[in-house]
A = this chain, B = another copy of it.
């Protein structure tokens, strides 16, 4: 009955599908799609390889389902920016939420990073569609803030890029960050630095 079933999933189906996706996240985020094997995912999920394929048609199906499932959570924080809030507070809040995501969901971040670095073969359409539209909307809001003088003039898209880059860096380049910082917790300094940067940039 399964094979990517969506409706009327029984308890056990939901449980196993979740287990597989969770395992897929662990494995794919570390080794990328091609670098991962179904054996690894099965091992991590604690079930046999054929049983994996009982729930998902193929390795690709697991990976794609995983991307699709995570994508919405990934864009979510951006939607929370309130046009009627205090501009600097809103943008700082967004940056902090993103940083928290890097701290709490580094694998998700790496999964997307892997995908995008390799040319986003599976989510290119989402990037050029939904994501672009969402960014366009936020850009209008930021532009409005700048025009009304509540923040300095900035290019809204590059502002967003810089927030993404700086926050995701702590998840994606985790090994490098820790190699340099040693035992120091990256995220404390990161938040402070981020705050300072955005303040310096935005406050008129």
Q: Which of B157, B175, B180, B200 contacts A197 (CB 8 A)?
A: B200
Q: Quick one: closest B residue to A159, CB to CB?
A: B193
Known: A32-B118, A34-B32, A192-B155. A131 touches B161 (CB 8 A): no
Tell me the bound Cα distance from A194 to B189 in angstroms.
20
A67 CB to nearest chain B CB (Å): 14
Is A169 part of the binding interface, using a Cβ–Cβ cutoff of 8 Å? yes
**Which stretch in A10-18, A57-65, A82-90, A109-117 binds the other chain?**
A109-117
Contact B157 A181 (CB under 8 A): yes
A36 CB to nearest chain B CB (Å): 8
Which of A119, A192, A200 has the largest number of chain B CB atoms within 10 A? A200
Contact A116 B173 (CB under 8 A): yes
Which B residues are in CB contact (< 8 Å) with A168? 165
Contact B118 A113 (CB under 8 A): no
Please tell me the number of chain A residues within 8 Å of chain B, measured between CB atoms.
Answer: 54
Is A135 part of the binding interface, using a Cβ–Cβ cutoff of 8 Å? yes
Tell me the bound Cα distance from A1 to B30 in angstroms.
26
Tell me the bound Cα distance from A119 to B173 in angstroms.
8
Instruction: List 23 A-B pairs, Cβ < 8 Å.
Output: A30-B118, A30-B119, A31-B34, A32-B118, A35-B35, A110-B117, A113-B117, A113-B172, A114-B114, A114-B117, A116-B172, A127-B176, A132-B180, A152-B200, A154-B193, A154-B196, A158-B192, A159-B193, A161-B190, A162-B166, A197-B197, A197-B200, A199-B200
